[in-house]
Amino acid sequence: MPLPAPQPQVRVVTLKIDGQDVSAREDETIIEVARENRVPIPSLCYLEGLSVWGACRLCVVEIAGTDRLLAACSTRVTEGMQVITNSERLQRYRRTIVELLFAERNHVCSVCVSNGHCELQTLAQRCGVDHVKVPYRHARYEVDSSHDLFRLDHNRCVLCTRCVRVCDEIEGAHTWDVMGRGTDCRVITDLARPWGDSGSCTSCGKCVQVCPTGALVRHGTSVGEMTKDLKFLPYLSRRRHGQ
């Protein structure tokens, strides 16, 4: 009978989130602890079960003792930490981030298959973005409908890279990646070949399920019909860590 593996020593720390005393394991991040304690922090690229990316900056929080805003998804909790999640300044930054996302590409919610089931659309409403102050770019982006089952619409992509990470880390196919810089940055399949020609794609659809917007969708869906299911992700992640 094998000896039980020694439990790694993980300390418990106490901290304050919005004035509320909470305790947490020291290997947890602020966003994990906040959500365990029902303190809502908006996020887009963060997804439980996937590696941390820290790109969207929507989850920025204020920490006492530093002027820098830190991403709650990529910052570990420490003893005595004092976190503010929803100040006037944070609300202003978050509104600006959401506005820039809407201005950069063509998210025309009214004619999107994900209308009513979109994380970006919901975020805009929760953050109080009722209009976009910066000018819209109205640049042209491609749509790739070459796959038998799914469609990629770059107009609605926010470059959260959830698709890239779920394909690599959960499915193990690494069909997705990112190319280009700035406004030319886009997600690609294989070496920027049409998705339908991909030799590595297993057509599992995980990328479609984790996409927060209408960028990755099932074929044959009409306006508002594309609903997504993220339930399988934490489950797979727990199973993997439990091995």
- Which residues sit at the interface with other proteins, rule CB under 8 A? 102, 106-112, 115-116, 118, 121-122, 124-126, 128-133, 135-136, 138-140
Nearer to other proteins, 88 or 148 (CB): 88
Smallest separation (angstroms) from other proteins to the CB of 226: 13
Smallest separation (angstroms) from other proteins to the CB of 128: 5
Nearer to other proteins, 131 or 239 (CB): 131
> d(Cα 49, Cα 208) in Å, to the nearest integer?
16
Residue 235's Cβ-count burial label (10 Å; 0-12, 13-18, 19+) is exposed
Nearer to other proteins, 66 or 110 (CB): 110
Contact 208, 228 (CB under 8 A): yes
Smallest separation (angstroms) from other proteins to the CB of 134: 11
Question: How do 12-17 and 82-84 pair as beta strands?
Answer: parallel
Smallest separation (angstroms) from other proteins to the CB of 132: 6
Nearer to other proteins, 50 or 118 (CB): 118
Nearer to other proteins, 67 or 130 (CB): 130
Which residues partner with 221 through β-bridges? none
Q: Cβ–Cβ contacts within 10 Å for residue 175, how many?
A: 22
Q: How far is CA 175 from CA 136, 197, 217, 237, in A?
A: 31, 11, 16, 20
Contact 77, 30 (CB under 8 A): yes
Smallest separation (angstroms) from other proteins to the CB of 110: 3
What torsion, rounded to 10 degrees, do the Cα atoms 237, 195, 157, 150 define? -70
Smallest separation (angstroms) from other proteins to the CB of 95: 11
Phi and psi at 102, nearest 5°, equal -70, -35
Nearer to other proteins, 77 or 118 (CB): 118
